Amino acid sequence: MATSVNITEFLTLSENHPVLDVRTPSEFAQGHIIGAINFPLFTDEERKIVGTIYKQQGKQPAILKALEIVGPKLHEYIKAAIKVNKTETFLVHCWRGGMRSSSMAWFLETYGFKCITLKGGYKNYRRLVLESFKEEKNVVILGGKTGTGKTLILKELKNQGEQIIDLENIAHHKGSSFGALGEEPQSSQEQFENELSFHLSKINKEKECWIENESRKIGRNILPIGLWEQMQNANVITVNLPIEERIRYLVDEYGKFSKEDLIAATKRIGKRLGGLKTKDAIEALERGDNKSAFEICLFYYDKTYNYGAEQRPTEKIINYEFEKLNPEVIAQEIIKWKK
């Protein structure tokens, strides 16, 4: 019989052994342990059938139906397991740590693998994830208006030995109306939280951790309240650049996208930008004048940024002035703030 361990030990073991998530494909897509392999006992439709029988007829008829479904596929599970096996040990879990994971573990152990199951299943993992956002970190916010290249600076801070959490990379979104351009589709809110918790777990809480200044909503993903409150109370190191330098960066960064995509993104902020400014920006994009279009859009983004900055205590904001966007130089300078 497979050994069952708590979530902390399970995650530690997952660093050396593959994790098999035996829930359905749709459950897995909604959210899963980082690095887990979807190894479903049932398809979505099969699980629905078994669940309906359980509700209408009871446990034993449901088990019989489950065996009828699973029986012909047992050899397929073993062949699939052989393909992903590297250590002859599998970590197996389902939603609550019940029959699905114990059944799959039994199948695999019958063949000769060693299996370890998760007490409480994925449900316990999610509890751990949500609790993790309450843990205090030594957060420092990297601030600056749109076009100051904060993501480039953040990456350079990492290159210079600083701890960072790249929220936009985790969310697959740059946080603005233009933020989805060039990015992979965003994951579910649940998986965003799982990914974010994973990255936070690697942070040494005794040292500073730099996070880019963001609104609470990044695309369709929302920052967990525990982390958001820490970000709101943290020191903000603000990078200021001349507007011409910011526009130059935006033209380089977004000018590679199609005219149609840029116009659609501009229309999404039309109500806040105002009818006339939106019209002028779109006309500029249509004639290929990205510089003028982005300059118009900055009116809205600067106004939004200034409002957010006003909500913070002034003593928490430390301003740095630069003439050029040179991420290496800027990172070197703002690190000195700690001293």
Of 129, 161, 193, which residue is a domain's last? Answer: 129
Let me know whether 211 and 69 are in one domain.
Answer: no
3-state secondary structure at position 193: helix
Let me know whether 113 and 244 are in one domain.
Answer: no
Let me know whether 117 and 239 are in one domain.
Answer: no
CATH of the domain at 245: 3.40.50
- What is the number of structural domains in the chain? 2
Active site residues: 94
Let me know whether 268 and 161 are in one domain.
Answer: yes
3-state secondary structure at position 92: strand
CATH of the domain at 51: 3.40.250.10
Q: How far apart, in whole angstroms, are the C-alpha atoms of residue 38 and residue 43?
A: 11
- Judge contact between 304 and 176, C-beta under 8 A: no
Let me know whether 147 and 117 are in one domain.
Answer: no
Q: Phi first, then psi: give them for residue 141, nearest 5 degrees.
A: -95, 130
For residue range 113-126, what is the model confidence (pLDDT) as tens digits?
999 999 999 999 99
Tokens of 247: 């526009």
Let me know whether 98 and 181 are in one domain.
Answer: no
Q: Phi first, then psi: give them for residue 38, nearest 5 degrees.
A: -75, 120
DSSP structure string for 133-182? TTS--EEEEEE--TTS-HHHHHHHHHHTT-EEE-HHHHHTS-SSTTTTTT
Of 100, 129, 158, which residue is a domain's last? Answer: 129
For residue range 271-316, what is the model confidence (pLDDT) as tens digits?
888 899 999 999 999 999 999 999 999 988 888 888 788 788 888 9
Positions in the chain whose pLDDT score sits under 50: none
Of 84, 114, 129, which residue is a domain's last? Answer: 129
Let me know whether 186 and 307 are in one domain.
Answer: yes
pTM, rounded to two decimals = 0.92
Let me know whether 163 and 33 are in one domain.
Answer: no
Q: Which residue has the tokens 């749709």?
A: 26
Q: How far apart, in whole angstroms, are the C-alpha atoms of residue 187 and residue 205?
A: 27
Let me know whether 155 and 121 are in one domain.
Answer: no
Q: Which domain holds residue 281?
A: 136-338
Let me know whether 186 and 122 are in one domain.
Answer: no
Let me know whether 301 and 254 are in one domain.
Answer: yes
Query: What pLDDT is stored for residue 1 in this prediction?
Result: 72
Let me know whether 101 and 148 are in one domain.
Answer: no
- Judge contact between 78 and 52, C-beta under 8 A: no
